[in-house]
Amino acid sequence: MGTLTDIHPFTSCYNFITTHSRQNSCRGRGRAPTLLNPRPRPSISLFPLTHKPSKHHVADYSVSRIRCSIAKESTVSPSNVDEDNSNGYSVDCVIVGAGISGLCIAQALETKHGEIAGKVLVTEARDRVGGNITTMERDGYLWEEGPNSFQPSDPILTMVVDSGLKNDLVLGDPNAPRFVLWDGKLRPVPSKLTDLPLFDLMSFPGKLRAGIGAIGIRPPPPGHEESVEEFVRRNLGDEVFERLIEPFCSGVYAGDPAKLSMKAAFGKVWKLEQNGGSIIGGTFKAIQEKNPKPPRDPRLPKPKGQTVGSFRKGLAMLPNAISTRLGGKVKLSWKLSSIKKLDGGSYTLTYETPEGIVSVLTKSVVLTVPSYVASSLLRPLSSAAADALSKFYYPPVAAVSISYSKEAIRRECLIDGELKGFGQLHPRSQGVETLGTIYSSSLFPNRAPPGRVLLLNYIGGATNPGILTKTKSDLVEAVNRDLRKMLINPNAEDPFVLGVRVWPQAIPQFLTGHLDLLEASKVALESGGFQGLFLGGNYVSGVALGRCVEGAYESAEEVSTFLSKYLCK
């Protein structure tokens, strides 16, 4: 997931420069807001509201986690998955990993390519589906400890409708402001053209520099792959970088913009300059060359404005629903131990399962596990591919969910007497450790009891890996201390601590050279004769949850194209 926001980090300054306002997120990912490590540290439990907490108290007892629904074997049709007690399973495609990418690839194959890839199996080493999507509920609170939301693009809305969740979809207020901390004050980010004269996050010279840079009056591109920081400072100036893009990079990647690749992390904006000579030139050219869109699926909801989405009972509803629809095609607690290529072009996958060793014969494989897991699985097949995949970096991030009374919010932060908005981001230069805060109870309904405010805070990332040495109480202390500098009254009561989830390897960083490493791994598999073995997941598609779903449709198309050729042999 992207940590704090599934809105494209260049959207605000892009709106400032042009009237073209909506850009799809490349994170998150998905960016969710996508934390996709399969081995989180244990979460701490909710402190009961009937017990008066000591300072920043973290409960001592454990809370049972919400379990995603486990598929029922009885729903499997023999025509979909061939099973034989002596020979195991025979399928068209095995998808390794039942996170959001793997499940969505399976559903996309069924809904879009069922005539070619009708026999699909999804395997998961853990005892639940959903990957890093972690929804918790207790005592009137509903909170997320991984991704928080998604941008409702048509691909993800299609997945929602096909999963039967259209009536469970909830969307945030498109007019909800987003804030950036600057000089001790939470300042709104401009969301539309009419905001430009009044917003005080940037100075007039900073706005002017951004405008003339966007039309092309700026230094030419260098002869090397630019970092996000290099690209933005060169094109839009220092203020846009320091006050808009740097905090948004923390919100999407929990990353260091001095090391993130502009081309890999924010390719759509990078291409504007490449194609049009400047950001605005590229925008006009893209509009002129834009092909007519096919008719929109009439089943899809029509979100208004720039908003984010979730579900009535949290993000876990999506992987739950897909798993239920796939039924016995989803196998939990199946640990993949080896992949072997057969002479005829098929693959044999061997699993350790609760029922013993199981062998699966398949025509194609999609690995949606993190790159370092894929590296280990592929090393016996291709050391070159394994070496490339082992070089991707996943920094640690912690999600800290806490609650205050409504009276604890500073009066100057209220709008019509309420805490309204998506949340706030904190540039690294502003003297706070927390990356940012999502106003969970303001964003979606029924997330906190009456009179309470639920805040989801992220801390850590590429610029602060030291969080791994801190206790959960230390992390709560840091978040509470930061919030009292700008959002919470200094003399307010101590927060209730709902959960602290530490993800030691959270979000893949799209650093300079990322695309080269990814291409090297794919070329190594192709040249090694491993056609039909595909790489998927957030380090391929992008980290935002929305990009993971879009990437799932792309992966399903790749698998279908391969199987079509396979059937013609």
The tens-digit pLDDT sequence of the chain (569 residues) is 455 555 444 544 444 343 333 333 333 333 333 322 333 333 322 222 333 333 444 333 233 333 233 333 333 333 356 654 345 789 999 999 999 999 999 999 999 999 999 899 999 999 999 999 999 999 999 999 999 999 999 999 999 999 999 999 999 999 999 999 999 999 999 877 677 777 899 999 999 999 999 999 999 999 999 999 999 999 999 999 999 999 999 888 999 999 999 999 999 999 999 999 999 999 999 998 888 888 999 999 999 988 999 999 999 999 999 999 999 999 999 999 999 999 989 999 999 999 999 999 999 999 999 999 999 999 999 999 999 999 999 999 999 999 999 999 999 999 999 999 999 999 999 999 999 999 999 999 999 999 999 999 999 999 999 999 999 999 999 999 999 999 999 999 999 999 999 999 999 999 999 999 999 999 999 999 999 999 999 999 999 999 999 999 999 999 999 999 876 66
- Rounded to whole angstroms, the Cα distance separating 161 from 300 reads 7
CATH 1.10.3110.10 placement within the chain:
203-291
Six token digits for residue 293? 């869109």
Domain 89-132+317-393+510-566 CATH superfamily = FAD/NAD(P)-binding domain (3.50.50.60)
Q: Which DSSP state fits 145?
A: S
In this structure, are strands 169-171 and 309-311 parallel, antiparallel, or unpaired? antiparallel
Which pLDDT belongs to residue 568? 65
Topology given in CATH for the domain delimited by 149-175+395-503? Polyamine Oxidase; Chain A, domain 2 (3.90.660)
Which pLDDT belongs to residue 83? 56
Which pLDDT belongs to residue 306? 87
What values do phi and psi take at 230, rounded to 5? -60, -45
CA distances, 537 to each of 457, 466, 493, 522, 555 (Å): 25, 27, 42, 14, 9
Which pLDDT belongs to residue 57? 40
Strand-pairing partners, residue 260, are 511
Q: What is the CATH number of domain 203-291?
A: 1.10.3110.10
Strand-pairing partners, residue 343, are none
Which pLDDT belongs to residue 289? 87
Per the CB < 8 A criterion, the answer to whether 176 and 188 are in contact is: no
Per the CB < 8 A criterion, the answer to whether 9 and 262 are in contact is: no
Which pLDDT belongs to residue 3? 52
CATH 3.90.660.20 placement within the chain:
149-175+395-503
Six token digits for residue 204? 């007039």
Six token digits for residue 70? 């486990």
CATH 3.50.50.60 placement within the chain:
89-132+317-393+510-566
Provide the residue type at 325 as one letter.
R
Six token digits for residue 123? 């395997």
Which pLDDT belongs to residue 250? 85
Which pLDDT belongs to residue 75? 31
